[in-house]
Each structure stands twice: as C-alpha cells, then as structure tokens.
Chain A
Amino acid sequence: MYKFPEGLYSDVRIENVFKSDIVVTLGNLDNMKEQQYSAAFIRVFDGKRWYYSSTTDCKSIQQELDKLAQMAQYNSTIERNAVVEKFEVNTGTYLNFDGERDISNFSLDRKLELLRNYFPHLKNELIKFWRAQYIDQRVVKDFYSSKGASLTFDYQRVGFRLLYQMVHEQEQFMDRFDVAGNEISVLEGLSEEIDKRVASSEYFIRNATPVVPGNYTVVLSPEAAGVFAHESFGHKSEADFMLGDEMMMSEWKIGKKVGSDNLSIIDDGNLPGVGFVSFDDEGTRARETYLIKNGILAGRLHSAETAASLDEGLTGNARAVNFEYEPVVRMTATYITPGKLSFAELLSGIETGIYVDTLNHGSGMSTFTLAPNQAFMIRNGKIAEPVKIAVVSGSVFKTLGEIDATTKEFKMLSFALGGCGKMEQYPLPVSFGGPYVRVRSLNVQ
C-alpha cells in the first residue's frame, strides 16, 4: 500500500472517525451534530530519533513518509534495532463494533430522544442550572508498518452526562450523572439510577457541613478507589517515565514489595468500557497486565520503545489521544482487584472515619490527591452525616501499604466526558474501578 523508505522503520496510522455530539442546556438545544473524517499520523524511526507528521489529506501520506525520511538518517541495520524488533506484526481485520453495534447507524433523532427521556428526572426545585450532553465516537483505525503490519481495528465510545447545580438557601452544590460504554444499550433504562443520584445530591446540599480536618481512616468507593489506583500508581507504571532513570528503576524493581498482601492492581485493554483498546496505536494486541500482585510489584505498561529499553514484554499500552499525536504509554482499564468482605464488614470497626463516594478529580505525584464531591462521616461502623471536603491526600508509597481491606463487591466505571491527561495529550478515555477499599490513614482537609 505504501512504499516505506529503506533503512528506516516507519508506520502509518489512519483514523476513520465518526462522532456525534448533542448538548442541551436548561431545556434548549445548543448543538446537535455528526461529523466524519479521515486523517493520518505517520512515524519514521532511524534508530536514534523519531520523526512525526499528521495530515488530514490521506492522499498525501506517501509524500509525508518521503518528507520525514529526508529528515532521518539512513540506517542499514534498522531491522536489528531493539525497538524495531519489538514491534508486533499483526494483520487482518478485527472489528468489534460493526453492523448493528455501529453507533453511526443510529440517527441523531434517536440519540436526542434517548437523552430527552431523562430530562424529567432533573425536575427538582433545587436544580437551578443543568446541562445534558450526549457524545459518541467510532474510530476505525488502519495500521501499516514497514515490518509488514496491516491491521484494521476499531474503537467505540458512547455516553452521556447530566450536569446540574443545586441551590439551597446560601449553599450551592454541583453534581453529575455520567455514564458511558461501548454501545448505546448501556445508556438505556437508567431512570432509577438518575433519580437516586439526584436524591443523594439533594440530601447532600441540605445536610452537608464542613469536615473537621485531620487524619482519618478512609473508605473509598469503587469510583474513588479506581481513581486512586489510576492516579497514584497507574502513572508510575507507565514505563516511559523510567527510561534512562536508574533511581526509578531500582525503586520500582519487579518483585519489590510495594503494598499490602491483599492489594493487586491490573491494567487490561480487553475489558468492556471506554478503556477497551483491542490493539494499541502501534498495532500491539491488548493484554492483561498485573501492575501489583498480592502487594508485589509485578509489571509495567509499555510501548515498543520502553519494552525494548527495559527488556520486557509488550503490553499494548501505546495510545494517542487523536490523529494529531504520537502514541505514548497510557493506561486502558485500570482497577484494584476485589477482596472478600461485604461493605458492612468493611465499615465495622471504624469508630470515626470518612467514606468518599464520588469525586471531582484526582492527581498523583509523590503525594496523591482526591477531591471528593460527595463524602460522609463513618461513625461506629455506619455511614453517617455528609461532609464537605476540599481534598484527601496521602503519600503514595505509604498508602499502598495502608490498604487493609477490600470488598468482594466490585465495579468498573466509564465516563462520557473528561479522561486522563498526560503532558499535552488530554483527554484520553480510560476506565477505572475496584471494590470498596479501606485505608488506615489519610489526610483530609
């Protein structure tokens, strides 16, 4: 299909994109659109440096390849380069979302109708502002490489968010109901859940008081636990952060004990949800990767470059946020594995603690943070009054060792809007989740 330049490794990723977007604010339709386009990202590697270009003119891909080749240095031994040797060579067509599952076959009217069905559930005297947004995206990717890869695979994300602001006397509270998955069926039949959510928001705004800052035993919901795993540990598992870094390599040595015995964290692009990535953007098949297994550091997330550099296996985690960018090591679906306790058993024995139910956001450096949306006191083993918390934080290394119990109840989450940010590439859809998790001590402000 393409004449790949000699003495170099090259690959071409063509993205054939369909997407739709519907926005309604306070009952008024702001936007309703469908878009289709094809665009490409081209890479050339000479063994020392990568050269990248993106184009919206797919007829010019060969030209772009040739131009990039001019910038690179001919390398007669490129095929024996460790990075090049790592690349998988997959061929064939692997479509998971074609035919009846293809979201582009559903009309805009149908999508608007689905969204509109949920508007009556936002009729609440305290809701002064609301916005509903439906999004979907199907991307069929064609991947070709100078090693002979010739692969077609697809990705699909469908979801909606109901964002609302409640006002009660002097108090304001913003909350949202956000759900996504790979097919439109995931978005149907959610009225009861939405009612529950709105009711919980009303209860929160009417009753929440500022938390007394301090260190507490904290129970994280699956949402909070998933974000914790993603932010505090997931990013550290992205091997590009370790390249050439001897200190990080020795601190994060495979086999090192980093957490409690009951802690395991997995990343797996095969799981349904917005983190479902059957092949990554280097044409590598998705895999289940244990990052932590029973408290022991078990693995890392890789691109071909990082896998070659660290002499480890590929994991299918090289992803680009869209056609304008190169793939870098990213997570897919990251979760803490379930444990054995019931939720009630997890709470029992906590005299005074905090339950973090939903989040605004999280972040992870040496100190990780979670910014709760709805949170509650735990008193004498039971969920008690709601509290307003700005941020929960802790040391990543310490906290992994302070997880002392997890439930058998487990949930994976996917959201319609937002996503993971890494350097300039944001937002990348990822899934995350886990059981309910008890952490002995975290700082709460």
Chain B
Amino acid sequence: MNREKYVTHYVENAVKIVQTEISSVRKKDIIKTSARLYDGVNMGVAGALGLCDEEALFERAKESLKLKISYPYAPADNLQREERFESDLQDESVLLEETADILERLREQQPKFSFSHIFKCSKLESSIENDFGLKLRSCRESISLSLVIKDKSSSNIIDAVTGYEGRKFSKKGFLDLTNMICDAFSNQINEFTDGTYPVVFSSDDVTYLKKFYETLHGMMFGSGSSLLSGKIGRQVFSPDFTLYQTRRAEDGFPGAFFDSEGTVNPDDRFALIEDGVLIAPYTDKKTSSTFKLPLTGAAGGEYDGLPELRLPLLKIKESEKTAKQLLNDRMGIFVLIASGGDFTPDGHFASPVQLAFLFDGERFVGRLPELSINSSLQEMFGRNFVGVSKNDFFGLENTKVAVMNMSVERLRK
C-alpha cells in the first residue's frame, strides 16, 4: 500500500475596520493534514486539523479503505519542485500601523464617506509528497486590502467597493484608486442613452465569467450536459479570446502551483480555450479518465476527503493593449458592482448594475445611473469581445480590465 501526505498551513493576520476606525485585530494559524493510502483500486483518506500523530492518521486512512471508494488512477510521481513567493508586508504590527495611517488619510481626504471591512496579510504553505518520488512544496504570501465604501448621505448598506490583492504593499496605489472611486462617485451623471457600449469589468470579476464554470466543468461537459459539449477543436469564440485555468502566482492565485492530486502544468496553467478554439474542459483524474478528456489539474477537495473536481481560477489572456487602447477613443462603462444577474440555461446574460462609472480608459469620470446590461455567452466572448488590458490600475497587482461590447439600458424599477 502506498502513502501520500498533503498538508496546508495557513497563517493570517487581519485588521477589521468599521466606519473608518480599527475595530478589531484577528490572528489565524490553521494546519490541515490529509493522509492518503492507495492500493491500486481504492483510496483511503483521513484528515486532521492542527498538529497530529501522523502514524495514527495513516491508520485511520487504512480503516477508511474499507469504504471502497474507487480511485484507480496513477498517483503523480517523480517530480520535485519548491517555490516561495514573499510579500513585503507580513508583520502584524506593521499591518496595524499602516491600516491606521491609511484610515487617517481617508478620513482627511474623503470625509463624505465611511469605510469598512478588512486588511489582511497571509501566508499559505502547501506540500504534497508520496512513495512515488513526488515532493512538491509551495509558500505564497499575500496582502489583501478590501473596503466597502458608504456615502454618509446615503441610506444604502454599500455604495461602492475598493481593494486589491497581491504581494506588494502599495499604499499610494490603494489610496489613489480609492480616491478615484470616491471622487467619481460624487460626480453623478444623470444623462444616459440606451444603446451598445464597451462594458468594462475587473478581469477577476466572476459576474461575466461564471457561465464558464458550468460549461467547462469536466463532468458536465463529458456527460453531454454542457452548452459546449462535443465542441472540442472547434472555433467557438473570438480568435482574440484565450481562457486559462491558472495556478500562477502572477495571476493572483493564492494557492499552490500543484492541485490536490499533485498535477502540475507547464507554466502552471492550462489553456481551456485558445484563440477561440475549445481545447478542453477543466478536469481532475477521475473526470479525465471517465470521459477520456485531457487532464488539466483542477482537483481540489476537503482535507479529510478524496480529491475531487473543483472550480479553478479562470483568467483571460491579456492583450498587447492598455485599457485606453482597447477602448479606442470611446468612453467605456466600468461595472464596479453588478449584483444578482445571471445566465439563462441557453447562455443569455442579464444583470442590473448597481454601480457603474464612465471610464476613459485611465480614470473613472463620473457615476452613471443604475443600469441593466444584456448579452449572451456567445456574443460576450465572440464577436463582441474586445480584450483584456495589459496594464493595471495605479500599478496595483491583479487590477487588469476586460472589455466587451454589450447592450446597456437605464435600469427600470
């Protein structure tokens, strides 16, 4: 019987903010260990929280083999690799000081608004090793600054949001972004004519990508239940559209470069759609084997269970253009908050947009009235797809934008 051990160790320091004041400080330090036994037919698993007796854990994994959960897939083998991505802010007292400083500046610079939510610095260490020569280790640190913005003269719970996540602490960039949002929010633009516009999303906004999580789900795809089933190798979207499943640190993926089965991709990502051609849905070993699909390394799962197919991080390939160049002298509609919209089963998309800004490609100009956006999966990533910018906002990591033409109208209530 062969052994495999998968361990994650998550450490976090967080400062919570309420009404532009520090309200609390929180520490977390959580270890999760997964002990796996392979007998070539089934897998037994046992998991533990915190420090544990590993031998006892493997004994429990042996017991769980009796459940006969089939797992006849070859384990990852003969690969050693280690990575470490550090952030430049991990000290809790520095985090507290910097938070206090940022809040003081916001109180001075944006007295009409109040700010709440959380700043965090975290570190995730992951490792997987087995009897087959697999030994992979990852350590990724990150910083996350996230604030909900409230106009003091409004009776809404949330009026706007700001934030970023990355490895470099950029106080100036964060403040510049937040000030831009607040200033634009205060500049209400009431005139709006319904029509087709370039609509701009943060590149990691799931609002417009969510249908891919369903249509590229390997099990759904393989069983013939996806809109894209049976279309591998076909040109289904724009030749400018490439969609990756990614575990790259540079793409803002906070976890390890390997999935929970130890699968590693070249360049830590897999193109599911390349130049508009469907290559593969996302899969784990079971899905890949069951439906004879390429293995893309999308296994996740709980620490105390077998690996299973999980939603990966999807990223669209960036273009060679800035946001301004993508807009090509037009003004765009930047969707900051689009809550509650969805796709129909046949791919039609509609959503209210609670907060949209007029966007010149570099700055938010003013706040538009509440809008409604409409399109379809085929159009958004087909003939109406414009591209993803190569530049970030104010030098903040992971703040690229995606542009596509959509039908936009004033929201009727």
Contact = CB atoms under 8 A, between A and B. Distances in A.
A35 interface: yes
Contacts of B24: 49-52, 326
A171 B152 contact: no
Interface residues of A, number: 76
Interface in B130-189: 148, 150, 152-158
A373 to B, nearest CB: 9
B227 interface: yes
B70 A28 contact: yes
Contacts of B343: 390
A326 B342 contact: no
B348 interface: yes
Interface in A202-246: 205, 210, 213, 215, 235-236, 240-241, 243-246
Interface in B82-121: 114, 117-118
Contacts of A23: 308
Given A51-B24, A55-B29, A391-B352, A39 B346 contact: no
B243 to A, nearest CB: 20
Interface stretch (A149-157, A183-191, A282-290, A359-367): A359-367
Interface stretch (A84-92, A247-255, A410-418): A247-255
A393 B352 contact: yes
Contact of A367 (B29, B305, B308, B352): B352
B214 interface: yes
Contact of B156 (A174, A366, A371): A366
B223 A128 contact: yes
A391 B346 contact: no
Nearest to B157: A241
A324 interface: yes
A128 B155 contact: no
B277 interface: no
Contacts of B70: 28-29
The number of chain B residues touching the other chain, given as a range, is 35 or more
A424 interface: yes
A358 interface: no
Interface stretch (B47-55, B356-364, B389-397): B47-55
B272 interface: no
Interface stretch (B234-242, B255-263, B324-332, B333-341): B333-341
A57 B413 contact: no
Contacts of B301: 31
Given A54-B28, A167-B225, A445-B350, A365 B158 contact: yes
Nearest to B355: A365
A424 B118 contact: yes
Contacts of A57: 50-51
B23 A26 contact: no
A308 interface: no
Nearest to A241: B157
Interface in A340-383: 360-363, 365-371
B70 to A, nearest CB: 7
B148 to A, nearest CB: 8
Contact of A361 (B27, B214, B340): B340
Contact of A245 (B19, B346, B411): B19
A166 B220 CA distance: 10
Nearest to B52: A56
Q: Tell me which of B28, B155, B305, B341 has the highest count of chain A C-beta atoms within 10 A of its own C-beta.
A: B155
B28 A240 contact: no
B346 A388 contact: yes
B47 to A, nearest CB: 7
A368 B157 contact: no
Given A369-B340, A388-B348, A390-B350, A443 B304 contact: no
Contacts of A108: 67
Interface string A27-56: 011111101010100000000011111111
B214 A390 contact: no
B143 to A, nearest CB: 15
B224 interface: yes
Contacts of B350: 213, 390-391, 445
Interface in A128-178: 128-129, 131, 165-167, 170-174
B374 A251 contact: no
A39 B351 CA distance: 41
A295 interface: no
Interface in B19-44: 19, 22-31
B348 A165 contact: no
Interface string B214-228: 100001100111110
A21 interface: yes
Nearest to A45: B24
A202 to B, nearest CB: 14
Given A369-B341, A370-B340, A247 B18 contact: no
Contact of B411 (A33, A361, A393): A393
A166 B345 CA distance: 10
B258 to A, nearest CB: 20
A286 B346 CA distance: 44
Contact of B23 (A39, A49, A56): A49
B386 interface: no
Contact of B69 (A30, A388, A395): A30
Contacts of A213: 350
B45 interface: yes
B413 to A, nearest CB: 4
A326 B25 CA distance: 11
A25 interface: yes
B18 A30 contact: no
A39 B50 CA distance: 9
A316 interface: no
Interface of A: 21, 23, 25-26, 28-33, 35, 37, 39, 49-57, 71, 108, 128-129, 131, 165-167, 170-174, 205, 210, 213, 215, 235-236, 240-241, 243-248, 251-252, 324, 326, 360-363, 365-371, 388-391, 393-395, 398, 423-424, 443, 445
26 contacts: A23-B308, A25-B219, A30-B69, A31-B308, A33-B64, A33-B302, A33-B304, A39-B50, A49-B25, A53-B26, A56-B50, A165-B223, A245-B150, A247-B153, A326-B24, A361-B340, A365-B156, A365-B158, A366-B354, A367-B413, A369-B340, A390-B341, A391-B340, A391-B351, A393-B352, A443-B411
Given A30-B286, A371-B341, A423-B117, 4 more contacts: A54-B28, A243-B18, A390-B342, A423-B118
